[in-house]
């Protein structure tokens, strides 16, 4: 995973509550077996005027001029300003993949759906929770000032605004540590292999029914009807 230390960039406001992951990346793009290339289809149904398919050449598609992502002043934004319950719905990690691939590194919102919030950290995206009033102030500032940019310093846990006081934010210390160092969760967990093995043998002893009769080895479960 790539490291996250400091991010300075333009802010793009998405003034809508309950933005779901279908909104962020529609289902037809989930058919890919890759992890990259989703950026061109970020917010697809709102960004383009026609219906997109995985094999469409997006350069020839009509853009929706009213959608914020297409407005000249927000081109190159890396900070997404959003409303309550951002990322609700489907658990698809394609949503943070699309945000990341497009170039967003930070999200600012009053609240997030749990699965999406978690998925962001696995992809080097920092989702920051800020009080509703602060979010309202930021929306007003972004709309009023073209080129409005912020600097987010993860180590210091501060958000620096132009012509206004810094804002402190909270982040779990372990997640912060992983982001700052670009650490891979699996690598960290496997350092505890012995603990897991020990737990597993105790658990197998205590609750053997969870370990019985599953997998290809179990005779009665392998009689496939075939295609």
Partner 1 sequence: MSGKTLYDKIWDSHLVKEREDGTSLIYIDRHLIHEVTSPQAFEGLRIAGRQPWRASANFATPDHNIPTTSQERKRGLQGIKDPVSKIQVSTLDNNCSEFNIFELKMNDFRQGIVHVVGPEQGATLPGMTIVCGDSHTSTHGALGALAHGIGTSEVEHVLATQCLMQKKMKNMLIRVDGELPMGVTAKDIVLAIIGKIGTAGGTGYTIEFGGEAIRSLSIEGRMTICNMAIEAGARAGLIAVDEATLEYIKGRPFAPKGALWDKAAQAWKELVSDEDAHFDSVVELQAAVIEPQVTWGTSPEMVSPVTGAIPTLENEADATKRGNIEQALRYMGLSGGTAIEDIQLDCVFIGSCTNSRIEDLREAAKVVAGKRVAANIEMALVVPGSGLVKQQAENEGLDKIFIEAGLEWREPGCSMCLAMNADQLGEGKHCASTSNRNFEGRQGFGGRTHLVSPAMAAAAAIHGHFVDVRKLA
Residue in 8, 9, 32, 39 binding partner 1, rule: CB under 8 A: 32
**How far is residue 33 CA from its own chain's centroid?**
18
**Per-residue x/- mask for partner 1, residues 182 to 221, rule CB under 8 A?**
---xx-xxx-xx-xx--xx--x---xxxxxxxxxxxx-xx
Least distance from C-beta 202 to partner 1, angstroms?
10
Dihedral angle over CA of 109, 116, 176, 157, nearest 10: 0
CA-CA distance, 193 to 216, in Å (whole number)? Answer: 25
Counting contacts by CB under 8 A, is residue 134 touching partner 1? no
CA-CA distance, 167 to 157, in Å (whole number)? Answer: 8
Residue in 12, 77, 93, 159 binding partner 1, rule: CB under 8 A: 93
CA-CA distance, 153 to 111, in Å (whole number)? Answer: 20
Residue in 49, 51, 75, 168 binding partner 1, rule: CB under 8 A: 51
Counting contacts by CB under 8 A, is residue 78 touching partner 1? no
Measured CA to CA in angstroms, residue 19 lies from 48, 102, 218 at distances of 17, 17, 44
Counting contacts by CB under 8 A, is residue 224 touching partner 1? yes
Counting contacts by CB under 8 A, is residue 118 touching partner 1? yes
Counting contacts by CB under 8 A, is residue 17 touching partner 1? yes
Counting contacts by CB under 8 A, is residue 3 touching partner 1? no
């Amino acid at each position: 995973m790539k490291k996250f230390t400091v991010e300075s960039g333009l802010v793009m406001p998405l003034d809508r509550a309950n933005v779901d992951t279908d909104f962020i990346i529609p289902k037809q793009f989930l058919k890919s077996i890759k992890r990259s290339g989703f950026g061109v289809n970020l917010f697809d149904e709102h960004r383009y005027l026609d219906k997109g398919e995985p094999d469409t050449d997006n350069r020839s598609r009509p853009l929706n001029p009213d959608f914020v992502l297409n407005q000249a002043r927000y081109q190159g934004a890396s900070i997404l300003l959003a409303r309550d319950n951002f990322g609700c719905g489907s658990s698809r990690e394609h949503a943070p993949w699309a945000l990341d691939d497009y170039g967003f590194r930070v999200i600012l919102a009053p609240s997030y759906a749990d699965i999406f919030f978690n998925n962001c950290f696995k992809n080097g995206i920092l989702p920051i929770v800020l009080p509703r009033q602060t979010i309202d102030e930021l929306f007003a500032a972004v709309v009023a000032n073209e080129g409005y940019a912020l600097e987010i310093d993860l180590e210091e846990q501060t958000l620096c605004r132009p012509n206004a006081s810094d804002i402190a934010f909270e982040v779990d210390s372990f997640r912060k540590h992983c982001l700052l160092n670009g650490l891979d969760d699996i690598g960290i967990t496997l350092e505890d292999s012995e603990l897991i093995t020990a737990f597993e043998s105790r658990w197998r002893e205590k609750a053997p029914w969870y370990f019985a009769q599953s997998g290809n080895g179990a005779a009665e479960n392998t009689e496939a009807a075939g295609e």
